[in-house]
C-alpha cells in the first residue's frame, strides 16, 4: 500500500522552486534594551533564492530595527483599537493579547482579509513548496487509518489550512484508496473568511453558496467539507485525525524576563510619543501561573540558565482538547512546526514580505510567530488523557524521508520535462535539505536552503493504535 501511494504519479502541477518559508529565529530578544546584559547582534544572514532575485534577511535587523520616520501619520483602525484597549485597561496589555489582536482581529487582523501566502505574500509554507509535502501527509493519514482498523467514518481535521493546498494534495494523493476517502468527513478550522474562500476554491468544492453555510462537497474525492472557527465546534464521538501544520507557531505567547525582583511579564504599552513600546509588569500577572507550571518540566540546570521564558497557554489548552478527543474517540494528531525540543527563551518575530520587521511596527501588516515548545505539547497531552501516547519530535527530514519522499520524487521525475525536474529537485531539497533524509543526493550545486532540521514533527495517538508511522 505504501509503495502504491509513493509511486502513484500525478498529472497536476509540479510546483516551481519558491522562497523558502523558513527564517532562522533569534536566540535572544530583539528588544534587548529590556535585558540587563544584551548580547551583540549576529552578522549572520539568511539568503533565500527566487528565480531572478535574491532576498537576504539579516538577523541583525532584529536587534537594531531601522529608524522610523517621526512624521505624523494617521493611525490604522487596528492601532486605534489597541490604544483604546490599553487606555481602557489603564495599563499595558500582554504580548499574547497584542499578538492575538494583530493576527486575528475580525476587522483588521493579519490573516483575516487577504491571502498572505506565497511569493507575492509574506511567507511560504511547505505545501506551497511542493505537492510532495501534502502527499506525504496523505501517506501518514492512510497508515494511521489502517492502524485504527479502517473505520467507516473518520473526521479529518486540519487546523489553520491556509489556502487549502495541503488538504488538496492529500486528497489527490490518496484518491485511489476509495475506502479511505469515502470514510472521510473533512473539517477545516479556520477563522479567516478570506482564507475560507480560497480553501473552498482549491478543494474544488461544489455550490458557490455553500461556503456561507459552512459546508460543501469537494469534487477531488467526493468528500464532505465543513468549516469551523474552533476545534471545539468539530463534532466529537467519531474517530478523528488532526493535522496541525504551522498552526502552533501563530498561537499567542506570553513572554517573561528575569529581573532583580523576580520574573516579570513583558507587556505592550503606549509611550509618551504615542508609539507602542515594551515594558515589564510591576507585579505578578495571571499568566505567571503558567510560567511556574511550564518551568517544572525543565531541569534545575535549564531553569538556572534562563533569562527569558516564552510560554503559550493557548497551545497547552489546545493540546489538551486534542488529547481528550483522541483519548475518548480514537485517532491521532500530527503536529509539524518550527520549534525546539526544549524550553523556549525568546523567539517571537515579525515577517512582512519575506523580511524581518519590528514586532511593534504597523501592527496587522506583518505575520507574528514564535517557536513551538514541543515538550510543552507532550506534557499537556499526557496530563489531559491517560489513553494517549506522544511520539517524537523528529526532524521534518527524518519524518518525510522515513515515509518515502525519495521514492515519490523518483516516480515524479519519470514523467516530467527538464524544467519540471529542476523544480522537483529544488522543492525536495527545500523540504528535507540540511537534514538526514536525502537518500537521493540531488544536485551538488545551487542547492536551495533546506528546512529539514528546523521543522519538527510529533504525533499524539490513542494508545490502542500502537506507535504511528514513522515513529516506530
Assess whether the previous peptide bond of 15 is cis (omega < 30° from 0).
no
What is the number of other CB atoms lying within 10 angstroms of the CB of residue 248?
A: 27
Q: What is the pLDDT of residue 118?
A: 52
Given CA atoms 424, 428, 433, 436 in this order, what sign does their dihedral have? negative
Q: For the chain, how many helices (H) and strands (E)?
A: 16, 19
For residue 332, is it within any domain?
A: yes
Read off the C-alpha cell for 316.
497547552
CA distances from 243 to 186, 281, 332, 368, 418 (A): 11, 36, 9, 21, 34
Counted domains in the chain: 1
State the pLDDT confidence band at 305, using cuts at 50, 70 and 90: confident
Read off the C-alpha cell for 410.
523518483
194 by Cβ neighbours in 10 Å (0-12 / 13-18 / 19+) ranks as middle
Per-residue pLDDT, averaged over 114-120, amounts to: 59
For residue 202, is it within any domain?
A: yes
For residue 34, is it within any domain?
A: no
Q: What is the pLDDT of residue 143?
A: 97
For residue 162, is it within any domain?
A: yes
Kindly report, residue by residue over 127-147, the tens digit of the pLDDT.
888 899 999 999 999 999 999
Mean pLDDT comparison of 97-111, 147-161, 186-200, 410-424, highest-scoring range: 147-161
Kindly report, residue by residue over 345-389, the tens digit of the pLDDT.
899 999 887 788 899 998 988 889 999 999 999 999 999 999 999
Q: What is the pLDDT of residue 321?
A: 98
For residue 174, is it within any domain?
A: yes
Q: What is the pLDDT of residue 112?
A: 79
State the pLDDT confidence band at 439, using cuts at 50, 70 and 90: very low
Q: What is the pLDDT of residue 295?
A: 77
For residue 208, is it within any domain?
A: yes
Question: Which single residue is written with the C-alpha cell 472521510?
Answer: 184
For residue 189, is it within any domain?
A: yes
CATH number at residue 149: 3.40.50.150
Kindly report, residue by residue over 96-109, the tens digit of the pLDDT.
999 999 999 888 88
Q: What is the pLDDT of residue 469?
A: 94
State the pLDDT confidence band at 57, using cuts at 50, 70 and 90: very low
Q: What is the pLDDT of residue 108?
A: 84
For residue 77, is it within any domain?
A: no
Mean pLDDT of the chain: 81
Buried b (16+ CB within 10 A) or exposed e, 407-428: bbbebbbeeeeeebbbbbbbbb
Domain that holds residue 457: 9-21+124-249+317-343+373-465
Whether the per-residue pLDDT at 64 is higher than 60: the answer is no
Amino acid at each position: 500500500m505504501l509503495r502504491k501511494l509513493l509511486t502513484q504519479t500525478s498529472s497536476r502541477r509540479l510546483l516551481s522552486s519558491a522562497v523558502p518559508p523558513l527564517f532562522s529565529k533569534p536566540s535572544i530578544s530583539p528588544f534587548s534594551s529590556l535585558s540587563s546584559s544584551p548580547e551583540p547582534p549576529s552578522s549572520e544572514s539568511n539568503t533565500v533564492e527566487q528565480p531572478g532575485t535574491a532576498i537576504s534577511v539579516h538577523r541583525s535587523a532584529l536587534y537594531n530595527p531601522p529608524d522610523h520616520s517621526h512624521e505624523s501619520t494617521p493611525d490604522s483602525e487596528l492601532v486605534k483599537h489597541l490604544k483604546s484597549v490599553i487606555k481602557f485597561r489603564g495599563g499595558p496589555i500582554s504580548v499574547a493579547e497584542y499578538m492575538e489582536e494583530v493576527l486575528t482581529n475580525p476587522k483588521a487582523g493579519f490573516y483575516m482579509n487577504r491571502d498572505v501566502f506565497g511569493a507575492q505574500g509574506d511567507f511560504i509554507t511547505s505545501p506551497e513548496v511542493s505537492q510532495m509535502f501534502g502527499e506525504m501527509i496523505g501517506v501518514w493519514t492512510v497508515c494511521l487509518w489502517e492502524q485504527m482498523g479502517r473505520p467507516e467514518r473518520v473526521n479529518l481535521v486540519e487546523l489553520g489550512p491556509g489556502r487549502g493546498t495541503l488538504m488538496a494534495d492529500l486528497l489527490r494523493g490518496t484518491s485511489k484508496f476509495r475506502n479511505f476517502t469515502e470514510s472521510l468527513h473533512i473539517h477545516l478550522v479556520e477563522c479567516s473568511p478570506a482564507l475560507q474562500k480560497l480553501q473552498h476554491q482549491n478543494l474544488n468544492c461544489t455550490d458557490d453558496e455553500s461556503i456561507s453555510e459552512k459546508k460543501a462537497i469537494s469534487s477531488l474525492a467526493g468528500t464532505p467539507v465543513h468549516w469551523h472557527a474552533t476545534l471545539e465546534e468539530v463534532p466529537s464521538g467519531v474517530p478523528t485525525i488532526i493535522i496541525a501544520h504551522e498552526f502552533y507557531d501563530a498561537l499567542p505567547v506570553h513572554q517573561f524576563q528575569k529581573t532583580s525582583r523576580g520574573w516579570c511579564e513583558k507587556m505592550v504599552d503606549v509611550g509618551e510619543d504615542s508609539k507602542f513600546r515594551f515594558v515589564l509588569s510591576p507585579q505578578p500577572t495571571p499568566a505567571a501561573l503558567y510560567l511556574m507550571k511550564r518551568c517544572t518540566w525543565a531541569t534545575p540546570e535549564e531553569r538556572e540558565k534562563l533569562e527569558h521564558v516564552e510560554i503559550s497557554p493557548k497551545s497547552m489548552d489546545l493540546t489538551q482538547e486534542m488529547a481528550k478527543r483522541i483519548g475518548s474517540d480514537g485517532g491521532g494528531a500530527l503536529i509539524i512546526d518550527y520549534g525546539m525540543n526544549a524550553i523556549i527563551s525568546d523567539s517571537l518575530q515579525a515577517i512582512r514580505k519575506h523580511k524581518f520587521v519590528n514586532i511593534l511596527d504597523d501592527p496587522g501588516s506583518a505575520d507574528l510567530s514564535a517557536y513551538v515548545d514541543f515538550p510543552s505539547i507532550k506534557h499537556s497531552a499526557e496530563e489531559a488523557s491517560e489513553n494517549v501516547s506522544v511520539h517524537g519530535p523528529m526532524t521534518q527530514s527524518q519524518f518525510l524521508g522515513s515515509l518515502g519522499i525519495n521514492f515519490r520524487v523518483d516516480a515524479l521525475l519519470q514523467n516530467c520535462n527538464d524544467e519540471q525536474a529542476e523544480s522537483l529537485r529544488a522543492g525536495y531539497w527545500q523540504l528535507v535539505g540540511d537534514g538526514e533524509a536525502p537518500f537521493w543526493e540531488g544536485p551538488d550545486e545551487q542547492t536551495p536552503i533546506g528546512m529539514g532540521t528546523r521543522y519538527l514533527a510529533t504525533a499524539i495517538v490513542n494508545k490502542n493504535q500502537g506507535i504511528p508511522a514513522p515513529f516506530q
